[in-house]
Amino acid sequence: MSESNRKDFERAERIDIRQPDQAKADRFDPRNRIYVRAVTGVWTQLRRKMGWVALSFFLLLPWITWGDRQAVWFHLSEQKFHIFALTIWPQDLTLLAAVFMIAAFSLFFITTYLGRVWCGYTCPQTVWTFIFMWLEEKIEGARNKRIKLDKMPWSANKLMKKAAKHGSWIAISLLTALTFCSYFVPAKALYIDFFTGNASATVYFWGIFLTLATYGNAGWMREIMCTHMCPYARFQSVMFDKNTFIVGYDSKRGETRGPRSRKADPKALNLGDCIDCDLCVQVCPTGIDIRNGLQYECINCGACIDACDNTMERMGYRKGLISYTTENRLDGVTEKVRRPKLVGYGVVLVVIISGFIYNIANLDPLRLDVMRDRNALYRETSDGLVENTYTLKILNKTDQNNQYQLAVSGLTDYQWNGPKVLTIRAGEVATQPISIAVDPYDLKSPITPIEITLSVKDDPSVSFTQESRFFSGG
């Protein structure tokens, strides 16, 4: 090796093209903090607006009233969920399974088509993390100032800024925790009781636990939740294909990357459009370099797109070096929007949503359960009749007191022992034992199918029918 080549080789070994704070950082080490740089642009503004909408919806919903109660109230002690005019009882919790299925297939469908936009724009971890980062920047300053502040020795100024930052984080975390609790405990009473010391131990436990969880997740763990703990990042590759929209870097246009002046002709320097400013890395909340290709840590937030577009605009280059694109588009292959996997997810999603809407529209305002006497199938009365005993459980699922009428069908002639008209209060479960006696000569089979019908006395069209059996043994 010649002397000049040896010196060039040694010089190349000494040069580290990364930023000083990133040169020794391992982004897979949770102990290494990522200092995210603020950025402005179309996608950043969209993410902020969607985040504020989601946050406002979460904070304000418990304060909306519906009649004499909270509009959205998951009343666990009475085992019923109020969602505006709809009241869901434990017997209707199959609807909850349908909600989870809709959420799952919606996620599959959107991810197959648009990638991890849920993570980048609407995931609570992302929304709260960006709020905490915004507060951090307002109190401690821009990225370089925050790095400098953390390296400085402790002083009154540093202590004041740190206390203000963590105080604001704890305040937001406490508000988040109490808002979440207010979906289960009436909001108006919750805040008064919590701050006056009159809340229950359960409320204090969950309030403190959720405060610490929010403070830890959004303030300290941040990208660790996305890169190390969130299972979605691990199985997203199952839903991705070459037509899925991702945040991608156009290496054909960007390489070879390198710094240059604005007036320089990149073609004359044998350079691509990427000036290697590393801004795309500095604005990334998970600390990855999108120029290295698709990575599971990418949450599709679009921050690197805005940073790169701003740089391209300043350099006088065409925007879109980093953009929402597909692998096929980057490779120059024609994209396919309609593909079997996407269509399959869409069809299943439509079917589940249709079934869910149908079940919601046809929820019964009352419920009847018929339980036979387990001690004896039947008994003979002193009059020679065959008698069966039943226990009726009647649920009034409405918000008003109602009178209900009971009737039985399937028997030609019978004696009903017990009340046929019952008054049941709103939301009450009434237990009523009855017996039915029949002349054995009127029965054609040892087991006769019967139906017991419960209907609103003033409106017989509102009814519920439950099947049962009448045993005679003959």
- CA-wise closest residue to 346 among 112, 168, 50, 66: 112
Per-residue pLDDT at 173 exceeds 80? yes
- Quote the CA–CA distance of 464 and 46 in Å, as a whole number: 49
In a domain, 441, yes or no: yes
Mean pLDDT of all residues belonging to the chain: 89
What's the pLDDT at 474?
65
In a domain, 255, yes or no: yes
- Quote the CA–CA distance of 155 and 119 in Å, as a whole number: 38
In a domain, 339, yes or no: no
pLDDT digits (tens, 9 = 90+) for 236-259: 778 888 999 999 999 999 999 999
- Quote the CA–CA distance of 404 and 384 in Å, as a whole number: 31
Instruction: Give all strands (DSSP E) within 214-278, no chain letters.
Output: 246-249
Instruction: For Cα atoms 118, 165, 132, give the angle at the middle one, nearest 5 degrees.
Output: 5
Per-residue pLDDT at 289 exceeds 80? yes
pLDDT digits (tens, 9 = 90+) for 302-333: 999 999 999 999 999 999 999 999 999 999 89
DSSP string, 95-142: HHHHHHHHHHHHHHHHHHHH-SHIIIII-HHHHHHHHHHHHHHHHH-S
- CA-wise closest residue to 124 among 244, 222, 229: 222
Per-residue pLDDT at 119 exceeds 60? yes
Q: Long-range pairs for 15-20 at CB < 8 Å and ≥24 separation?
A: 17/276, 18/278, 19/278, 19/281, 19/282
pLDDT band at 16 (very low <50, low <70, confident <90, very high): very low
**What is the count of structural domains for the chain?**
3
* Residue 25 sits in the same domain as residue 81: yes
What's the pLDDT at 426?
83
Q: Which of 219, 238, 257 is the last residue of a domain?
A: 238
* Residue 234 sits in the same domain as residue 250: no
Mean pLDDT computed over 284-300: 91
Only one residue has tokens 């010649």, namely: 2
Joined tokens for residue 273: 């459009």
* Residue 90 sits in the same domain as residue 137: yes
Joined tokens for residue 182: 């207010």
- Cα 114 to chain centroid distance, Å, stands at 17
Q: What CATH code is carried by the domain that includes residue 370?
A: 2.60.40.10
In a domain, 361, yes or no: no
* Residue 232 sits in the same domain as residue 252: no
Cis before 381? omega within 30: no
What's the pLDDT at 12?
35
Query: In whole angstroms, how far apart are CA 342 and each of 231, 242, 422?
Result: 21, 12, 53
Domain hosting 271: range is 246-330
In a domain, 42, yes or no: yes
Per-residue pLDDT at 286 exceeds 80? yes
pLDDT band at 26 (very low <50, low <70, confident <90, very high): low
Joined tokens for residue 149: 């502040």
* Residue 270 sits in the same domain as residue 380: no
* Residue 86 sits in the same domain as residue 178: yes
pLDDT digits (tens, 9 = 90+) for 44-66: 999 999 999 999 999 999 999 98
pLDDT band at 89 (very low <50, low <70, confident <90, very high): confident
- Quote the CA–CA distance of 150 and 140 in Å, as a whole number: 10
Three-state secondary structure call for residue 256: coil
What's the pLDDT at 319?
95
- Quote the CA–CA distance of 302 and 272 in Å, as a whole number: 22
Instruction: For Cα atoms 403, 428, 414, give the angle at the middle one, nearest 5 degrees.
Output: 50
Three-state secondary structure call for residue 463: strand
Residues 6+ positions from 418 with CB-CB distance below 8 Å: 432, 433, 434, 435
In a domain, 335, yes or no: no
Positive or negative torsion for Cα 296, 301, 303, 304: positive
Q: Which of 183, 207, 238 is the last residue of a domain?
A: 238
* Residue 233 sits in the same domain as residue 266: no
DSSP annotation of 399 reads S
pLDDT digits (tens, 9 = 90+) for 356-392: 999 888 888 888 999 998 888 899 998 899 999 999 9
Residues 6+ positions from 244 with CB-CB distance below 8 Å: 111, 112, 113, 114, 115, 326, 327
What's the pLDDT at 80?
83
* Residue 103 sits in the same domain as residue 251: no
DSSP annotation of 217 reads I
Residues 6+ positions from 163 with CB-CB distance below 8 Å: none
DSSP annotation of 391 reads E
Residues 6+ positions from 344 with CB-CB distance below 8 Å: none
* Residue 27 sits in the same domain as residue 115: yes
* Residue 234 sits in the same domain as residue 261: no
* Residue 169 sits in the same domain as residue 258: no
In a domain, 1, yes or no: no
CB burial class (10 A; 0-12, 13-18, 19+) of residue 9?
A: exposed
pLDDT band at 31 (very low <50, low <70, confident <90, very high): very low
Share of the chain above pLDDT 70, in %: 93
* Residue 101 sits in the same domain as residue 128: yes
pLDDT digits (tens, 9 = 90+) for 129-156: 999 999 999 999 999 999 999 999 999 9
Instruction: For Cα atoms 172, 175, 176, give the angle at the middle one, nearest 5 degrees.
Output: 85
DSSP annotation of 216 reads I
Joined tokens for residue 80: 């019923």
pLDDT digits (tens, 9 = 90+) for 406-457: 999 999 889 999 999 999 988 788 999 999 999 998 898 899 999 999 999 9
In a domain, 346, yes or no: no
Residues 6+ positions from 289 with CB-CB distance below 8 Å: 280, 281
Q: Which of 330, 353, 388 is the last residue of a domain?
A: 330
DSSP annotation of 401 reads -
What's the pLDDT at 392?
96
Say which range, 56-60, 126-130, 221-225, 391-395, has the weakest mean pLDDT. Answer: 221-225
Query: Strands 72-75 and 69-70: what pairing?
Result: unpaired
Cα-only R_g, the chain = 33
Per-residue pLDDT at 21 exceeds 70? no
Q: What pTM was estimated for this model as a whole?
A: 0.80
Backbone angles phi, psi at 320, to 5 degrees: 100, 10
